[in-house]
Every structure is written in C-alpha cells, then in structure tokens.
Chains A and B, each alone.
Chain A
Amino acid sequence: TQLLEQSPQFLSIQEGENLTVYCNSSSVFSSLQWYRQEPGEGPVLLVTVVTGGEVKKLKRLTFQFGDARKDSSLHITAAQPGDTGLYLCAGGMNRDDKIIFGKGTRLHILP
C-alpha cells in the first residue's frame, strides 16, 4: 500500500506553461516535504509544510498543504528547462516515526 500517491507520474510541457502536481493520502501527516532530484544525485529538500492550509512560495514554485493535512500540491508558474527533474513528496505522521516518500512525478520542460 502506497501511503503517499503522487500524480501525474510523468509530465512533459513546454517552457513558459504552468503546471500543478499532486500528493495525496488517506492518512493525516504532521509534516510534509517536497524534494527535487536530478539524475545521479540525491534528492534536495525544497520546502516543508506543517500547518493545514499552509501556502509557501519559493520563487515560481507554490506549495500548499491541504486543510486536513492529507494532501499537498506543487504549482510551478512559467516553467523553465531548469525545473526538469523528479519531484518527490514525503511526510511523517509521528515525531519518532520514519519519513514516507511518494513515488514521484517526473517533470520534463521542453525548451
């Protein structure tokens, strides 16, 4: 059973377009993070959200945590080729528990 479902699995769009990727669960998470991974490297943390309804912005990236803390979204405005990569969401339910990862959304921005 996959606790964190990410959609879509793959997304290929033209430079300049907007996009949203999703991370959904039937469970409540205390903390949810988004990472980006480039080929041959480890994932790098982009943002952490902990409060239901929280919205965080990182330049052209907007992250939202659902009110019920069961889902999250990542919106990219005016995508650029440098945004290409694997986007992973991850979360923790209990303070002493392990972090759970989704399977990721592979994003490809065409120049």
Chain B
Amino acid sequence: SQTIHQWPATLVQPVGSPLSLECTVEGTSNPNLYWYRQAAGRGLQLLFYSVGIGQISSEVPQNLSASRPQDRQFILSSKKLLLSDSGFYLCAWSVGWAEAFFGQGTRLTVV
C-alpha cells in the first residue's frame, strides 16, 4: 500500500534561519507531488507541484523553493525564514489528477 511520510511534525525556527522539510512516498512510482501551506482556519495554498524528478512548478512567488532529487522525495527549503513563513505545511501525492493523499503536516513557527 502507498504511504507518505512528512517530517518533522512541529518546528520552531528563528527568523533568518534556513529550512528543510522532507516528504517521501512509498508504494507508488512517478507520483505528482505537492507542497501546500495552510494558514489557521483557512484553505490550502498550493506552493509547488512536481510531475517528475527535477520538474518543479512554483505557484506563488515567495521565500521558499522546492526540489525533487528522487522520484518519491520532495523537499521544501528556504535560505532565510521570514515571520510570514509560519504556517501549517502539507505534502501530498497523487497519480495524475486522481485523488490526493496527504502527509500529517508540519507546523512551522518562525520566531
């Protein structure tokens, strides 16, 4: 069966520090991969999505970047965090346009 791992679950980082969130998928090949951010009580904001290794589409200009070094690995990074980067980050995978399966999320607080 397919599973998705996202870590860490919570993270507190100072302003200006770097960020690396990792997401890995098991049990499927060549998935579409997504990074979303969700503000408290709000919907999902798509940050990046990838249809293959090294292929990244950025949905909104921001202080973040994403990379897909392996087929089932998706990494969200920042060189210098801003206060506005705080939020709930979710990784997800899908096969094409079919249903998305989400990780448990990372609660990031930038202080």
Chain A complexes with chain B: yes
The residues of A with any CB-CB pair to B shorter than 8 Å are 30-31, 33, 35, 40-45, 48, 86, 88, 90-99, 101-104, 106
Residues on A with C-beta less than 8 A from B98 are 31, 48, 92
Residue among B32, B34, B49, B96 facing the most chain A CB atoms (10 A cut-off): B96
Scoring B residues 29 to 60 as 1 if CB is less than 8 Å from chain A, else 0, what string do you get? 00010101000011110100101000001000
Report Cα–Cα, A30/B46, bound state, in Å.
20
Q: Is the CB of B46 within 8 A of A98?
A: yes
B49 touches A101 (CB 8 A): no
Question: Is B13 on the interface with A (CB-CB < 8 A)?
Answer: no
On whether A99 and B34 interact (CB within 8 A), knowing A33-B100, A92-B96, A92-B98, the answer reads yes
Q: Number of A-B pairs whose CB atoms are under 8 Å?
A: 70
**Interface-forming stretch among B63-71, B76-84, B103-111?**
B103-111
Cβ A42 vs Cβ B97 within 8 A: no
**What are 6 residue pairs bridging A and B, where the CB atoms are less than 8 Å apart in the complex?**
A43-B44, A86-B43, A88-B43, A98-B51, A99-B100, A104-B42
Contact of B90 with A by CB under 8 A: yes
Contacts of B107 in A (CB 8 A): 40
> Judging by beta carbons under 8 Å apart, are B97 and A98 in contact?
yes
The yes or no answer to B7 lying at the interface (CB within 8 A) is no
Q: Are A45 and B99 in contact (CB under 8 A)?
A: yes
Q: Which residues of B contact A44 (CB under 8 A)?
A: 102
